A and B are shown apart, each in its own frame.
Chain A
Amino acid sequence: MDEKKFVGKYGLFSTITVTVIGVGAFSYPSTMANEVGTDGWIVTIAAGLICLGVLLIIYKVVNKNEFMPFYDITTNTLGKFLGNIVILLLCVYFIFSVSIGMRIFVEVIKMNLLGKTPSEFIILVMIFTGLYLVRAEISALVKFNEISFIIMFVPMIIILLFSAKGGDVSNILPIMQHSPKEYLNALITSTYAFGGFEISFLILPYVKDRKEIKKTLISSMAFITIFYAGVVILCLMFFTKDHTKELIWPTMSLVRAIMIPGTFIERWEGVVMALWVFYYFTTFVNMFYFSSELIKESFKLDDIKVTSLILAPVIYLIALYPQNITEVYDMANRSTLFFVSLSFIFVPFILFVLKGGRKRGEKNEI
């Protein structure tokens, strides 16, 4: 196993952050404004804490099972049959969410940049590029994540800092003016935006320095939470809650609206669209790899190259299935609750409670 340990601290950190922060980051402020108005950032921080808890449970589970791959952990704990079912359900969730993300990605590209290019073509290009990376195995994937992290966040944070100038801080007032039920609903929606950190099941077994894992997990979750909360606050500052509600992608509108007086770049379209590609692509390729890996194990296939080829057309079809952008978000929203409970609560907790293979057959205590 030792020769397989090649992921450093930064590799783990960047893999988790780039997988979690995807196209969702662009529509997230609008969802939050619709649910709880100006309190979006508070809910975000709460959701971040919850997800950190789940992430640490995942770490405990992997740790107790001596850093076995995810497939082995699940089948050891739940038995072959049940374990396979859970894994397949997870794969369905991953594939479904990347396909929906793919469609959103394509819609935005079509609206802002490539108006006449067919959607099918953009999806194909993305899938082929993804395939190429997935077939290069996990070490290449982690290296790619490490590079992408810098490309994604350095320009984005600089751009967002510029935008802070045009806003009015008092627009994030008033705080705490909603009913507990609204907060609860918002919390559930918000946790969905953190989806993707299950990738740590895949990556943890490959980590070099196991003592540092806990710290790295905490810092990556903190980064994601701060990023999300910051984006929500900036959108509220700039657009106020009423207009943020109306926009479909407030973060994108925010970046596009930035004018830095006297600078050589006035319109940021190109920069933003390049970033947009990266935000989606990293999420896509990581989840794609994870599900290909799981399917490979589950069906006892030899190589991830085969499974990734099998999954590619599935993604293509699901991405093209919705008729329009409303249907895309409708599909995503309807499946939220089921998938969130499955992947955030059910899997980690069950594995946590039923640690190890010896306790197989015990009743589920949750």
Chain B
Amino acid sequence: MKYKRILPLILCCLFLSGCWDKVEIDRKIFITTIGIDLGEDAVNNKEAKEIKPNDPFQDRVSTKKLSITYSFPNISELGPGNTSTAEDKYISVDASSLEDGIVEATGRSSRSIYLGQTKLIILNSAILEHPEISKEILDYLERHPHLNKMMRIVVSDGKAEDFVKYQPTMEKSIENYLTGLMESSESNASILPVTLNEVIILLGQNGNAIIPKISMDREKKDIVLSGVAVIKNFKLKGFLTSEEVADLEIMRGKIKGGKRVIYMNGHPIDIDIEDVGRKLKVRGDKNKLQFYINCRLEGQLMEDFKGKEVMSKTELNSLEKNFSESISKECNIIAKLMQTEFQVDTIGLREQVEKYKPSLWNEIKDNWDEVFKNAEINVNVDVKIRRIGIIK
């Protein structure tokens, strides 16, 4: 019976000698930000179109289609006694696709690359000019099992590499800075936080989406997150400014905070928006649709002019009326802009029809673009000032 004692030892040697997937944590690179730019031969892809799918050496075609920058914290800096955040490091590569980028980057680093911790993707707006390339990128982001679908995605006005390598004053890396900015969207209505998941869903439905835009303030050397890029059929259609985004957010019923201002006798009067309720009604038939968007904004008066007493019914009513009319007009203009110039439904009208009027949707879904263009959108905003602060 001696073999019974030896057998476990043999099994131990066989099974405990290490597994196939073992990687020590300090041998890994945890990518936090990916910046994607167009490479040199992105536009000139004739070669790629001519090649047949079964030709040899296809790796050699358009190797510089994308230029990708990865940023990752140098975790070997971390440890007991050190500061909490590690310095960021970068790898920039030219690649034909995102997967090729990983391979290239692996070839240039001594560690294995892990994408599961990626928190931010910066897309150069130039990429969105080429719907074919943006479709390739989107498919990769969707298909990858490790990528976190809740990461933020932004479009950069200018080279994404510069943004990835930018050193903000407040945080150690841009990824912390931008995600922090987006999370504080409660106090700034012009910031529209968007996750990869939302973009995938929106683009998957009909190729339209809105993605926040970042741009570089050259003089102050500062990054500004403002406005959104409007995408139609995977192609960049244009940008909305931050004021327009705020109105759009009101119409979408998604605004979380922010301030509005009207001028009275040359003095600004500010209110702080706390909540929004949106009711959307659809009327009409397949030839002419009418949308009625009723929004109710609730807010608090923040600033008026010294010497005027606000605490009277008439005064407050007139303030509310002025605010309501001003914002209603703005929203109507933005809605019209969406219909005519962008021809993209970012308000959520399509979803509304599809969800609540399914039979009508079946009639119009084939030429929704046309129907949307000709539809009549009426926005009515009702501002309620609930509180006025602690003086009369």
Binding site for B on A (CB under 8 A): 111-118, 121, 170-171, 173-174, 177, 238-240, 242-243, 246, 253, 256-259, 261, 267, 269
Known contacts A240-B201, A240-B205, A243-B200; A116 and B20 CB within 8 A of each other: yes
**B149 surroundings in chain A (CB, below 8 A):** 253, 256-257
Interchain CB contact under 8 A, A257 and B145: no
- Interface assignment of B59: CB less than 8 Å from any CB of chain A: no
New contact pairs (5) apart from A121-B20, A170-B351, CB-CB < 8 Å = A117-B20, A173-B355, A238-B197, A240-B201, A242-B205
Q: How far is the CA of A258 from the CA of B145 in the complex (A)?
A: 14
Q: How far is the CA of A25 from the CA of B146 in the complex (A)?
A: 21
Q: How far is the CA of A112 from the CA of B354 in the complex (A)?
A: 35
Q: How far is the CA of A257 from the CA of B355 in the complex (A)?
A: 24
**A177 surroundings in chain B (CB, below 8 A):** 358, 362
Of chain B, the residue at the smallest CB distance from A261 is B183
**A257 surroundings in chain B (CB, below 8 A):** 148-150, 197
**B204 surroundings in chain A (CB, below 8 A):** 242-243, 246
Interchain CB contact under 8 A, B201 and A239: yes
> In the assembled complex, how far is the CB of residue B195 from the closest CB belonging to chain A, in whole angstroms?
9
- Interface assignment of B26: CB less than 8 Å from any CB of chain A: no
Interchain CB contact under 8 A, A246 and B142: yes
Q: How far is the CA of A117 from the CA of B351 in the complex (A)?
A: 44
Given B145, B197, B351, B354, which contacts A111 in the complex, CB threshold below 8 Å?
B145
- Interface assignment of B305: CB less than 8 Å from any CB of chain A: no
Interchain CB contact under 8 A, A118 and B205: no
> In the assembled complex, how far is the CB of residue B194 from the closest CB belonging to chain A, in whole angstroms?
13
Report 14 cross-chain contacts, Cβ distance below 8 Å, ordered by A residue: A112-B146, A114-B21, A116-B20, A117-B19, A117-B21, A121-B20, A170-B351, A174-B358, A174-B361, A238-B197, A253-B149, A257-B148, A267-B116, A267-B117
> In the assembled complex, how far is the CB of residue A261 from the closest CB belonging to chain B, in whole angstroms?
8
Interchain CB contact under 8 A, B201 and A116: no
- Interface assignment of B140: CB less than 8 Å from any CB of chain A: no
Of chain B, the residue at the smallest CB distance from A173 is B355
List 10 tightest A-B contacts by C-beta distance, closest first.
A174-B358, A173-B355, A116-B20, A117-B20, A257-B149, A259-B150, A177-B358, A111-B145, A114-B21, A243-B201
Q: How far is the CA of A121 from the CA of B149 in the complex (A)?
A: 30
Known contacts A114-B21, A117-B21; A174 and B354 CB within 8 A of each other: yes
**A261 surroundings in chain B (CB, below 8 A):** 183
Q: How far is the CA of A363 from the CA of B9 in the complex (A)?
A: 62
Interchain CB contact under 8 A, A114 and B20: yes
Of chain B, the residue at the smallest CB distance from A254 is B149
**A112 surroundings in chain B (CB, below 8 A):** 145-146
Interchain CB contact under 8 A, B201 and A269: no
> In the assembled complex, how far is the CB of residue A107 from the closest CB belonging to chain B, in whole angstroms?
11
> In the assembled complex, how far is the CB of residue B148 from the closest CB belonging to chain A, in whole angstroms?
7
Binding site for A on B (CB under 8 A): 19-21, 116-117, 142, 145-146, 148-150, 183, 197, 200-201, 204-205, 351, 354-356, 358, 361-362
Of chain B, the residue at the smallest CB distance from A115 is B21
Interchain CB contact under 8 A, A173 and B356: yes
Q: How far is the CA of A237 from the CA of B21 in the complex (A)?
A: 35
**A113 surroundings in chain B (CB, below 8 A):** 21
Of chain B, the residue at the smallest CB distance from A257 is B149
> In the assembled complex, how far is the CB of residue A139 from the closest CB belonging to chain B, in whole angstroms?
27
Interchain CB contact under 8 A, A116 and B21: yes
- Count chain B CB atoms within 10 A of each CB in A258, A259, A261 and give the residue with the most: A259
> In the assembled complex, how far is the CB of residue A176 from the closest CB belonging to chain B, in whole angstroms?
9
**B183 surroundings in chain A (CB, below 8 A):** 261
> In the assembled complex, how far is the CB of residue B345 from the closest CB belonging to chain A, in whole angstroms?
15
Of chain A, the residue at the smallest CB distance from B356 is A173
Q: How far is the CA of A176 from the CA of B306 in the complex (A)?
A: 60
**B197 surroundings in chain A (CB, below 8 A):** 238-239, 257
- Count chain A CB atoms within 10 A of each CB in B183, B354, B362 and give the residue with the most: B354
Interchain CB contact under 8 A, A267 and B148: yes
> In the assembled complex, how far is the CB of residue B279 from the closest CB belonging to chain A, in whole angstroms?
13
Q: How far is the CA of A171 from the CA of B197 in the complex (A)?
A: 15
Of chain B, the residue at the smallest CB distance from A114 is B21
Interchain CB contact under 8 A, A174 and B116: no
Q: How far is the CA of A177 from the CA of B365 in the complex (A)?
A: 14
Q: How far is the CA of A114 from the CA of B19 in the complex (A)?
A: 9
**B19 surroundings in chain A (CB, below 8 A):** 114, 117
Q: How far is the CA of A107 from the CA of B309 in the complex (A)?
A: 71
> In the assembled complex, how far is the CB of residue A244 from the closest CB belonging to chain B, in whole angstroms?
10
- Count chain B CB atoms within 10 A of each CB in A174, A242, A259 and give the residue with the most: A174
**B145 surroundings in chain A (CB, below 8 A):** 111-112
Known contacts A257-B149, A259-B150; A170 and B355 CB within 8 A of each other: yes
> In the assembled complex, how far is the CB of residue A170 from the closest CB belonging to chain B, in whole angstroms?
6
> In the assembled complex, how far is the CB of residue A146 from the closest CB belonging to chain B, in whole angstroms?
29
Interchain CB contact under 8 A, B201 and A242: yes
Interchain CB contact under 8 A, A174 and B356: yes
**B21 surroundings in chain A (CB, below 8 A):** 113-117
Of chain B, the residue at the smallest CB distance from A249 is B145
Q: How far is the CA of A117 from the CA of B145 in the complex (A)?
A: 17
> In the assembled complex, how far is the CB of residue B252 from the closest CB belonging to chain A, in whole angstroms?
12
**B205 surroundings in chain A (CB, below 8 A):** 240, 242
> In the assembled complex, how far is the CB of residue A116 from the closest CB belonging to chain B, in whole angstroms?
4
**A117 surroundings in chain B (CB, below 8 A):** 19-21
> In the assembled complex, how far is the CB of residue B206 from the closest CB belonging to chain A, in whole angstroms?
9
> In the assembled complex, how far is the CB of residue B140 from the closest CB belonging to chain A, in whole angstroms?
14
> In the assembled complex, how far is the CB of residue B117 from the closest CB belonging to chain A, in whole angstroms?
8
Of chain B, the residue at the smallest CB distance from A253 is B149
Q: How far is the CA of A243 from the CA of B142 in the complex (A)?
A: 10
**A173 surroundings in chain B (CB, below 8 A):** 355-356
> In the assembled complex, how far is the CB of residue A108 from the closest CB belonging to chain B, in whole angstroms?
9
Q: How far is the CA of A111 from the CA of B107 in the complex (A)?
A: 22
Q: How far is the CA of A267 from the CA of B149 in the complex (A)?
A: 11
> In the assembled complex, how far is the CB of residue B266 from the closest CB belonging to chain A, in whole angstroms?
42
Q: How far is the CA of A177 from the CA of B358 in the complex (A)?
A: 7
Q: How far is the CA of A117 from the CA of B354 in the complex (A)?
A: 46
Interchain CB contact under 8 A, A118 and B201: no
> In the assembled complex, how far is the CB of residue B380 from the closest CB belonging to chain A, in whole angstroms?
21
**A267 surroundings in chain B (CB, below 8 A):** 116-117, 148
**A246 surroundings in chain B (CB, below 8 A):** 142, 204
Of chain B, the residue at the smallest CB distance from A247 is B142
> In the assembled complex, how far is the CB of residue A236 from the closest CB belonging to chain B, in whole angstroms?
11
Given A118, A174, A259, which contacts B355 in the complex, CB threshold below 8 Å?
A174
**B148 surroundings in chain A (CB, below 8 A):** 256-257, 267
**A174 surroundings in chain B (CB, below 8 A):** 354-356, 358, 361
Interchain CB contact under 8 A, A118 and B20: yes
> In the assembled complex, how far is the CB of residue B360 from the closest CB belonging to chain A, in whole angstroms?
11
Q: How far is the CA of A173 from the CA of B351 in the complex (A)?
A: 10
**A240 surroundings in chain B (CB, below 8 A):** 201, 205
